[in-house]
Amino acid sequence: MRIDRLYLEGFRNYAAQSVEFDPGCNVILGENAQGKTNLLEAVQYLSCAHSARAKNDRELISFQAGAGVLSGEVFTRERTFTLRAELYREKRRKLWVNKVPAKTAAELSQVLQTVFFCPEDLLLIREGAAARRKFLDAALCQLRPRYAAALAAYRRAYAHKTRILRDHEEQPSLLELLPEFNERLVQSGAVIIRYRAQFVERLAQYAAANHADCSGGKETLSVSYQTVSSVTDPLADPAEVAARLREHMASHRTAELASRLCLSGPHKDDLRVEIDGRDAKSFSSQGQTRTAALSLKLAEREIYQNVTGEAPVLLLDDVLSELDPRRQEFVLNRIAGGQVLITCCEDDRLPRLLGGRVLRVENGSLRPS
Ligand code: ATP
Ligand code: MG
């Protein structure tokens, strides 16, 4: 799959810009604060109606503009699709696939998939569990429309339950609603857990192979999924997983009411990452955690390719300059065979190394060079 054309209007520091991409490698070159990351962010947005670094859609609209427009031409499954998103300050964004309004972000993901890789991802292992859940969610939302729906349902129920737990002492009648939201959390939670478990099973396999390669066979990486303790088999059928979740939630009822917090559910999931049998988060060197994170991100791309039969568009933001030559070479070997958009600073030696089309960005304006 590839993105051939992109048009932006009122998006971040782009007033109005259209750009054509090479089907292979595209190097986006520019000084700091010119719009390199913004360009990758726009492509990511067209793949999932979400930006990993923006808190909300309003942030994405140019300071001077009332609305933002993103439009892209994508070639996949032997045909061309047009994706469009309009962002507004006062109302919810609108999406289109081939001029037909799209109800959900998943409809965009069925056309365009991206894997975004930025320097913060190199810390994926060191950070708290939230970062690893975000990684799982971002990957699965693009890959599985049903996962995106279950996650949205879970988040809605979680927000309701949080309000009930927070306010029940002042308003005891709220507790009558608790069973209903608990059941919604159990149902959507069971779907989430099964998808995560299936994904991590593959992730573990590919990431281990990548890590072995990148470390020259010297280290073994193992990745496992950690979820609610009562769910002994997260790959069991959803009714079984739901029953275990219900059990766990019931046993935490008193504690949840006392602490006024949701204590039970997959919103506390994590990935356990070990190198040579030891917890990577606590014991690994900086180089080892980087290699492990790199292996996970590249595994994400391999899984997409395996599931959909097409390589997702790879968005590499400033990552290579953060890696030593050996790891750079490892990434460069792995990214062949699909479309890549990669940002670099002016003085980098990488553009020469990479070949492909070079686009220069200066103050929100792009030109081929
Ligand atoms: P670096 O090399 O430092 O990573 P970059 O080229 O990746 O730089 P971007 O993150 O793309 O830079 O940001 C470019 C500029 O866009 C910044 O100066 C930022 O202030 C500006 N910017 C961010 N959001 C908006 C917005 N909503 N409207 C207008 N400009 C914005
Ligand atoms: Mg940047």
Q: Which residue's alpha carbon is at the smallest distance from atom 15 of ligand 1?
A: 33
pLDDT digits (tens, 9 = 90+) for 308-352: 999 999 999 988 888 888 888 888 888 878 899 999 887 666 666
For the stretch 313-346, what's the b/e string if a residue is b when 16 or more beta carbons lie within 10 angstroms of its beta carbon? Answer: bbbbbbbbeebeeebbebbbebbeebbbbbbbee
For Cα atoms 295, 281, 340, give the angle at the middle one, nearest 5 degrees.
Answer: 25
Other C-beta atoms within 10 Å of 160: how many? 17
Whole-number pLDDT of residue 8: 98
Torsion of CA 101, 107, 110, 116, to 10 degrees: 110
Which residues are in the CB-under-5-Å shell of ion ligand 2? 36-37
Measure 318 CA to ligand 2 centroid, in angstroms: 7
pLDDT digits (tens, 9 = 90+) for 34-87: 999 999 999 999 999 999 899 999 999 999 999 999 999 999 999 999 999 999
Other C-beta atoms within 10 Å of 352: how many? 9
CATH class of 2-118+127-193+237-256+310-368: alpha beta
C-alpha distance from residue 320 to each of 119, 136, 348, 357 (Å): 9, 23, 10, 17
Q: Report pTM.
A: 0.91
Whole-number pLDDT of residue 351: 65
Q: Which residue's alpha carbon is at the smallest distance from atom 2 of ligand 1?
A: 32
User: What is the chain's length?
Assistant: 369
Q: Is the beta carbon of 36 within 6 A of some atom in ligand 1?
A: yes
Q: Where are the domains of the chain?
A: 2-118+127-193+237-256+310-368
Amino acid at 104: T
Measure 363 CA to ligand 1 centroid, in angstroms: 9
**pLDDT, average across residues 23-27:** 92
Q: Counting atoms of ligand 1 from 1, which one is nearest the CA of 61? A: 27
- Average of per-residue pLDDT values in the chain: 94
